[in-house]
Amino acid sequence: MNTADYLIVGQGLAGTLLAFNLLKKGKQIHVIDGVNKNTASNVAAGIINPVTGRRVVKSWMYEKLYPAAKQTYTELQDLLGGEYFHSKKIYRILFSAGEENKWLSKTALAEFAQYVVDPPLVPAFMDQVNAGFSAGEIHNAAQVDLPSLTKDFRHYLKTKNLFTEAFLDYEKLEFQDGKVKYGNCIYNKVIFCEGHATRFNPWFSYLPFEVAKGEVLLIQSKELKALADSGQLLKHKLFIVPLQGDLFWVGSTYDWDPKDELPSQEKRTQLEEGLAKILNCDYQIVDQKAAIRPAIKDRRPVFGLHPEKSELAVFNGFGTKGASIGPYWAIEFLEYLESGGDLPEEVNISRYNDLFSSKEPV
Ligand SMILES: Cc1cc2nc3c(=O)[nH]c(=O)nc-3n(C[C@H](O)[C@H](O)[C@H](O)COP(=O)(O)OP(=O)(O)OC[C@H]3O[C@@H](n4cnc5c(N)ncnc54)[C@H](O)[C@@H]3O)c2cc1C
């Protein structure tokens, strides 16, 4: 029988970040993932944005999250040889005088100073884009190629025999003297990084997920070269994000009561109609993708040990912002697992202990 420190279940962004940091610490790990193309990490644009929403708010903990993200993705680039982290600006269209007033009054606050430039120069790509009322420019943003990162990291794990392509069968976990046996190996801990699928995990399904399905289009357009070359992302009624060459990500939609994780005709039509109102140049739709965002009710991630079985842990709840939130919290969570101490209440699984007590035991 083999032994190892950790079994990581799920190798989207969350599992990738944990596995990477554990290997850095010299830990013995194994990773298992069923490899399904409709996962959040495979569909996301990977935008890291310091200023978001209609209410124009500065993103939670951005001063800590951004440097940790840049550092981690740079280290992953060095390890894997890909280019995943791209520093970007965001050109955000404002659609009315009211919206502009809100933007100007909020971004005049000192805490926005390093993130916003007003008024921005009108970029060349606006020749291909229908203008709004005015615009703002966001600095210190980024875009992370999450599909390539997770794919390349999976390949790396495979070359080291640290990866099994399968969905974990919960019924085959055996608890032995504070450890967990799965297959032919005994682990000190199993960490679940299953994204929205944790809703169906018998130990953690009590967590209050409020998931949102999202759909996106991939388009090709030679006429959007100015946007591809600009170092900017466009936030119009939809986000338009340059990928490689003349390929662009367009999204996204929200469905708060998803029945499946498959692309739908309804959202395709919504995206197509939205895009037709944004661009005034030629483009071809080359793909449509869908996935479910793993969001928790209070919009904060959730980490920690199971209330009764401390051999089981969860690292989840990245919602709409895994690219920025994940790297910092992967480091903090491993520090907690390895050295003890407390996780902040805001992200600690213990904040939902009352929900656990009210559930039927598994
Ligand atoms: C349309 C859309 C756009 C988005 N845009 C952005 C963005 O611009 N910026 C941003 O930061 N975030 C964005 N997100 C959110 C981001 O994708 C998530 O926060 C992040 O990818 C979540 O990663 P995860 O690893 O927790 O989950 P996932 O990516 O869902 O990965 C979970 C993994 O677990 C595996 N798995 C599940 N159950 C099991 C099991 N029992 N056994 C084995 N394997 C299992 C799955 O196969 C999967 O690979 C977007 C999401 C969507 C859907």
Interatomic CA distance for residues 288 and 269, integer angstroms: 11
Mutate to test the pocket of ligand 1, among 318, 328, 347 (most ligand atoms within 8 A of CB): 318
Determine the pLDDT at residue 118.
75
Please work out, in degrees rounded to the nearest 5, the angle formed at the alpha carbon of residue 29 by the alpha carbons of 24 and 33: 115
Is 321's C-beta closer than 6 angstroms to any atom of ligand 1? yes
**116 CA → ligand 1 middle, Å:** 29
Determine the pLDDT at residue 60.
96
Is 151's C-beta closer than 6 angstroms to any atom of ligand 1? no
Dihedral angle, C-alpha 296, 301, 306, 312, nearest 10 °: 120
Nearest by Cα to 192 from 316, 53, 291, 360? 316
Tens-of-pLDDT digits for all 362 residues of the chain? 899 999 999 999 999 999 999 999 999 999 999 998 999 999 999 999 999 999 999 999 999 999 999 999 999 999 999 999 999 999 999 999 999 999 999 999 999 989 998 778 999 999 999 999 999 999 999 999 999 999 999 999 999 999 999 999 999 999 999 999 999 999 999 999 999 999 999 999 999 999 999 999 999 999 999 999 999 999 999 999 999 999 999 999 999 999 999 999 999 999 999 999 999 999 999 999 999 999 999 999 999 999 999 999 999 999 999 999 999 999 999 999 999 889 999 999 999 999 998 766 55
Determine the pLDDT at residue 250.
98
Determine the pLDDT at residue 360.
62
Which ligand 1 atom sits closest to the C-alpha of 252?
1
Is 317's C-beta closer than 6 angstroms to any atom of ligand 1? no
Interatomic CA distance for residues 85 and 161, integer angstroms: 27
Is 323's C-beta closer than 6 angstroms to any atom of ligand 1? yes
**12 CA → ligand 1 middle, Å:** 5
Beta bridge partners of 144: 85
**253 CA → ligand 1 middle, Å:** 15
Which ligand 1 atom sits closest to the C-alpha of 32?
43
Interatomic CA distance for residues 302 and 349, integer angstroms: 5
Is 44's C-beta closer than 6 angstroms to any atom of ligand 1? yes
Which ligand 1 atom sits closest to the C-alpha of 198?
38
Question: Is the full-model pTM beyond 0.95?
Answer: yes
Work out the angle between the directed axes of helices 13-24 and 62-80 (0-180°, nearest 10): 70
Q: Measure the N-to-C terminal CA separation of the chain; round to a whole number of Å.
A: 27
Determine the pLDDT at residue 157.
98
For residue 286, with 0-12 CB atoms within 10 Å meaning exposed, 13-18 middle and 19 or more buried, which class applies?
Answer: exposed
Is 11's C-beta closer than 6 angstroms to any atom of ligand 1? yes
**Domains in the chain with CATH codes:** 2-42+148-207+300-357 (3.50.50.60), 86-144+212-293 (3.30.9.10)
